[in-house]
Amino acid sequence: MVLGPFATQYLGDFGADVIKVEPPGGDIFRHVQPSRSRGMGAGHLAFNRNKRAIGLNLKQPEDRARLTALLEAADVLVHNMRPAAAKRLGLDPESLREAYPRLVYCVSTGYGSRGRFADRPAYDDIIQAASGIAHLNADSSGNPRFLPTILCDKIGGLHLAMAVLAGVVRQTKTGKGCVVEAPMFEGLVSFLLAEHLAGERFRPAKGSMGYNRIISEHRRPYATRDGYVAVLPYDGRHWMRFLEAIGRHELARADWVQDAAQRSERVGELYAVIARVMPERTTADWISLLHDLDIPCTAVNSLDDLLSDAHLADVGLFQDIEHPSEGSLRAIRTPFWVEGAEDLPDDPAPDLLPSDADVAWAER
């Protein structure tokens, strides 16, 4: 409901002509609240700019014929159906390859097609649990917790968008199509273990799994006198400046602080120092001092704070638009910027064309 739409929204941002095929009543995410009208909820509006949409019942021959008409003009087919479901509908690679030899066929399911879980259903919560993310985000009592964002769908969507672009590059170079998989489970495990494989990267192992800096109990937003800040002295110069500024001159010059490898092993001790001194000053005082020292830092924003963030206002991330059916909306533009590209307004998220609509609008 999110992974495919998120991926193809970025492709639409880059100029692709995206046609979203949904069930006749629309996909479930259209109905996520709040909304002003049925089938045009906030979630749908967020993940479906720069596309068109049509409702088709692919179990019906006439609607399959309409999809075939769309595929005749398509460069890419993207779907996130499980392999068995795609095969029943005749939308598996083997069924399409001969008729559409140039087609880039990209699929993103919960689990890769070559594994035993290929036909298991999966949504974001399932992959957060399976990939280790919920365990890594456990509370102080060790109870696993989901991150309060649809992280796996969105990361999976980015992976899927890259897969599509790689397929298009191959198509452009060879004139031939290809099949590209971007499964969620494998994608999120590789994403998470890039740093957290740690000692298990070596054979034999040189320690346990887990990146020490990230899992330190003292790594957190720090309480100030009147709020919270995130501060990250990262290299040796940062730590020297910070420790000197708070009067810890001897620690600033300690051999283990100066040495990057030793500092990495004991970074939790340094984070504990930060936690102890932060309540001595206000958030504004710390931000001012840390900026002067060129140490990365920020106050902790709430979601509401983002709407009035000065930098986001500078770059125009939020935009007021008039949707043809939903009226006045706050939109978020694509985060990408391309020098020299014409700055065209986004197409708003579409309402759903009925299954009997003339598909001539999709012809090139």
Q: How would you classify the pairing of strands 228-231 and 222-223?
A: antiparallel
Domain 222-299, classified CATH 3.30.1540.10, yes or no: yes
- Domain 3-192+315-362 top-level CATH class: alpha beta
Question: What integer best gives the mean pLDDT of the chain?
Answer: 93
Query: Residue 70: which of 361, 348, 356 has the closest Cα?
Result: 361
Query: Residue 45: which of 342, 240, 330 has the closest Cα?
Result: 330
Structure-token pair, residue 57 = 């019942």
Distance CA 283, CA 288 (A): 9
Q: Mean pLDDT across the stretch 301-314? A: 95
Helix then strand then coil, in percent of the chain rounded to 5, is 45, 10, 45
Query: Residue 276: which of 319, 311, 229, 224 has the closest Cα?
Result: 224
Domain with CATH 3.40.50.10540 in the chain: 3-192+315-362
pTM: 0.91
Q: Mean pLDDT across the stretch 232-257? A: 94
Domain with CATH 3.30.1540.10 in the chain: 222-299
Three-class DSSP category at 267: helix
Lowest mean pLDDT segment, chosen from 115-119, 143-147, 169-173, 340-344 = 340-344
112-159 pLDDT, tens per residue?
999 999 999 999 999 999 999 999 999 989 999 999 999 999 999 999
Q: Mean pLDDT across the stretch 330-353? A: 90
42-51 pLDDT, tens per residue?
999 999 999 9
